[in-house]
Amino acid sequence: MAKLTKAELEEVLEELEQYKGRATELITVYIPAGQNIYTVADQLEAEKTTAKNIKSTSTRKNVTNALEKITRFLKTLKQTPENGIGIFCGNVSKVEGQEDLRLWGIEPPLPLKTRLYRCDKEFVLEPLKEMLDVKEVFGLLVMDRKEATIGVLEGKRIEVLQKLTSGIPSKIRAGGQSAQRFHRITEGLTKEFYKRVAEEMKKIFYDLPKLKGILVGGPIPTKDEFLDGEYLARKLREKVIARKDLGYADEHGLKLLVEESQDILSQQEIIHEKKVLEKFFETLGEKPEFAVYKKEDVKKALEYGAVDTLLISKNLDKSLSKELKKMAESISAKIEVISTDTPEGEQFYNLGGVGAILRFSVPL
């Protein structure tokens, strides 16, 4: 089974979105990367017994048949594909009483992290749709003196990567010199904790190619002590795009951090988009042989394999957009979808809504 490109995934999702069941009879199964496929097959075998309790005869039949088809399909696979697999199966006939039992097995372009089995009136597509949104990754850190949680934001999905605790005691049990000694000990433990957090951040983020920025949250003194104390490697300190005052240092804190940083994250997208368009218009003005913008010229450049970066307006005709993306992915070109939320994006759309920066010039 071949791994889908983003353009191919987009096509399949558009098709799957059209199907609606008459009852909760369309089955979605997500098997994440690294999960044992035989364990899932056994669980689905057990689900057949549960399905016998469904009151409606037609729903029971459709669910049982779909489960049977999925378990047969899983037996044809030796192991879970590298990026995991999404399986969608059900009777998609538009005519009541007729059967059109179909199955789709999809290996996505990025590793699947979701594990799911669900019967519903429609297929669950959100985990795969989110992959289409992932252009870059943001590092996340929430911390106080007791604990720290490190995570990552990919598209709309937040993933916890590491949790650390400091082991710093919270109460002073004696006064006088003992209190001063306690303060020295806790300060020493705090510094050690900050060093450990910085080391974990370095391990996770230092060489991450898609890292766009880092968001840091926590109580006012803690996060500022950590960042201003230069515990974090300089390369990562320069990536910090937000400091947010938060009272949580756990998984809930990561979600709050992302919510509180929405304005900054939106701004980052706009900045990125402006830089892409700036490069495109600059190339078009200074080295016109390395930039094209007419639909026919862009297609020709793609056919030659000459496109380094394909630019497509969000408002471009859907079928044309899909065709160009597919061509670009086949030659490993970068794809940038340009909004019309900025004057530059509007100007690009008015120019035709499609353009390309080339690896080498081509005869047009």
**158-177 tens-digit pLDDT:** 989 999 999 887 655 545 55
pLDDT at 288 over 70: yes
Neighbours of 337 (CB within 10 A): 17
**254-284 tens-digit pLDDT:** 999 999 999 999 888 888 888 999 999 999 9
Confidence band of 32 (pLDDT split at 50, 70, 90)? very high
pLDDT at residue number 134: 67
* Homologous superfamily of domain range 267-358: Ribosomal protein L30/S12 (3.30.1330.30)
pLDDT at 142 over 90: yes
Tell me which CATH code domain 6-133 carries: 3.30.960.10
Neighbours of 51 (CB within 10 A): 20
Average pLDDT, the chain: 91
Topology given in CATH for the domain delimited by 137-260? Nucleotidyltransferase; domain 5 (3.30.420)
Confidence band of 198 (pLDDT split at 50, 70, 90)? very high
- The ranges assigned to domains in the chain are 6-133, 137-260, 267-358
Confidence band of 89 (pLDDT split at 50, 70, 90)? very high
Alpha-carbon distance 129 to 220, whole Å?
36
Buried b (16+ CB within 10 A) or exposed e, 36-45: ebeebbeebe
Of 186, 188, 256, whose CA–CA distance to 216 is shortest?
256
